[in-house]
Structure 1
Amino acid sequence: MEQPGYEQRGYLREDFRLFHLSASMTETVGWHYHAFHKLCVYLGGDAIRYGIEGRSYALEPGDMILVPQGCVHRPEAPLGAAYDRMLLYLSPEYLRSISTEETALETCFLQAAEEFHFVIRTGRRNGTLLEPLFALERTLAKPGFGQTMLEQALVAQVLISLTRGMQEQALPFASASAADEKIAAILQYLACHLTEPVSIDDLAAKFYISKYHMMRRFRAQTGYTIHAYLTGKRLMLAREKIASGVPMMEAACKSGFGDYSAFSRAYRKQFGQSPRASCQKDFSGKNGKDT
């Protein structure tokens, strides 16, 4: 079975982590994904683009990039480019644990993944949205009374403010540029039909495109093949199901895998452990630099 052309990067052993990075780009970053949600805030620097799920965005200072769990992404900038940003890693399980029935704190990430809108242009509301992040940074640097409650309150404030702005249309989404609209439509279709059988021939017919031309364009825009993309996404989905207690064979089946043996081999190669071992270990992901 062909393996995905992207990798899992970054790690999260805590409920959340906050980074403020101002270093310039020192390496070319390939397509990758995380087993957690990530909020990236571009504070300034040189001309930086950000690619997510086949779309590319020219960033402006204050832009907030929503990277849902499992979405492939990468920064696009020349080596040496100045890149000042804040990164907030968020465990999906943590967000669910501090949510209420009326307020699901994952909503902004789930909406971004469903609608394929990932970059929020904060504009004049920049300061209002950034202040809770800076307050969280100060709190983490100097722990004190009520530390856990204050951290939860600030994380919730960030996500509630974002979600309200999105739902009230007070925060516009940035338009993707330099994207192949046909491939973007195919990516969105695959995301909506991830667990269903998908053949290259049927996909090409649905989008009125030669299958060979489609495969070339898909790889040019994303860096990997359609098969690798589907396999990687399905593995991520299965991993999440296993982590939530779904039996391994059921998780494989409900994630679009018809052959458990092939699933198990692909899973081991992708995550470095068998599905059974995943039931007994944390889901922190591989160590590595993030962007």
Structure 2
Amino acid sequence: LNKYKISEGAFHQSQMVYMVWNAVNDPLFGYLQDNSKVPCCSQRRLSILYGAPLYSLAFLIAWFPWRSYSPDDWLCGVHLTVALCAFDALLTFVLLAQCALFAEISSHHQSRLRLIKYNQVASLIGSSSVLFCGMVSQNMENFPAFQTFTVLIAILSCICMIYTGLHSETRFDNKASEAALPGSSDQAVDQTGCSFATLKMMTWQILTNRDFQLFVLMNFFQVFLLAFFNNFTMIFTEQLIPPDVLPSLAKSIMYGAGFIFPQLLVLSSQRLLQDFGYYKIILFTFYLEAGMAVVMLLLGAQHYYFLAFFVTI
């Protein structure tokens, strides 16, 4: 909106197309990775390996204009639509494989907690790039510096994902090799027949389970809040906090902290997760979020420093 001067109509149209595509591609790629016979789709490791370069390129689409855009340029709307859909498609493809690979590495609870810790450390390092990007580009005032920084991030992330695709191992790797032994094909046929016979019953049992319904409802609002807030933090800040209240460095720190603090909280709450479990921790965070929202509502939007603190955390 600010840099490319896209019209609000084209912006909302792009968001609508993205919303539909986002709803379609999740089950589409999930089905593809679970049922495809092509190794690059059916094997998690290969999905990450071959998807990494495309994922990195899709990340860069949005930051390089296709021409010098004039205000309300129609091509700018097409650019945004392509950038959103391409990035979300590759994000879904790689992230589904990553999440499945993460669960398949180990079945032990303590090992998975340790994996969560390592994952959050890596996420913390990655999230800090938002802070440094804001400082280097002066909150996108220096756009060439911003573009250079995004290219470096894309290259580094691509290298890390390729390394994962080349060297990761799961507890199912040996089972996959055993499936190729003589006699295993007959067992696979029997299992396939049983799976088709019980698929409808299992699906109905899952959909009618009260815990599943509540989890889906909770997860919908949580993902909606996070996606909406993370995508429009800068716009909210510009509308709610006058530009002369916070210096540019403070805004960069605020934007970066919004991505870093969640990782720090997860890392610091490992002991709490072991003592109280995920359910009570999630329930407490919901109570805390609701309480902070009520306090901020009572204080009012004129308390800019409290508002900046609320937006950050």
Bin the TM-score by the shorter chain.
under 0.3
* Greater percentage in helix: 2
* Greater percentage in strand: 1
Larger Rg, first or second structure (1 or 2): 2
Q: TM-score, normalised by structure 2?
A: 0.25
